[in-house]
Structure 1
Amino acid sequence: MDDSKVVGGKVKKPGKRGRKPAKIDLKAKLERSRQSARECRARKKLRYQYLEELVSSRERAICALREELEMYKQWCMAMDQGKIPSEIRALLTGEEQSKSQQNSSRHTKAVKTEPNSNSW
């Protein structure tokens, strides 16, 4: 028995639906595939380089933070023993000096503006 059907005056044979594959040059198809693989490898290489740089920068940040944490631990141990570390002392005196400088500069500005305001 023939499975072909007559539809609209045309004889259709059963089989695959859709567009028939075009005859593509095998060499061109192979070259496109190779090019695509090269591009994929290049993207992968760039991605790995980016990730390695990211990891190394994070590792550097972690080392810096560990050093800072160790410094703070030493400061705390020194303060527990009743000693004030020189770094903290410098920070405290630096803040006091900057506050006194700000207050004195404000005072001198106020003094300078008073005579100007009273001049007629």
Structure 2
Amino acid sequence: MSSNKNSYPIPDGYKEIEFQTEHHIDHIGKGFHKKDAEGNLVMAFYVKPENGNSGGVAHGGMLMSIADYSLCSAAMESREKYVATISFRSEFISGAKIGSLLEVHTKISNILNL
């Protein structure tokens, strides 16, 4: 693993997400991306202390933000234009501890044209 400017190691096989201008995902922390064996986008984010709740795990809003961002990124990649989330439902199974590396594996099965 190499390090990025926030001193979190860049996970093996990933590249750091870089934006030309300030981006809302920067408030969560640096993210990383790669493709899986099928060519689907995989993104990764570390749970920083400021992303945690009083229980010492990632805040649910942070988890939903990275899931939404990752899925929209994958959808935009396949369409080459902007997309918007219309509906988002989530169920939390367990907590992600501070310092954990979270991976989001995307697979676009359907895109609705409005």
Greater RCO (Cα-Cα under 8 Å, separation 6 or more): 2
Max Rg structure: 1
- The TM-score normalised by the length of structure 1 is 0.20
Of Structure 1 and Structure 2, the greater helix share is in: 1
Of Structure 1 and Structure 2, the greater strand share is in: 2
- The TM-score normalised by the length of structure 2 is 0.21
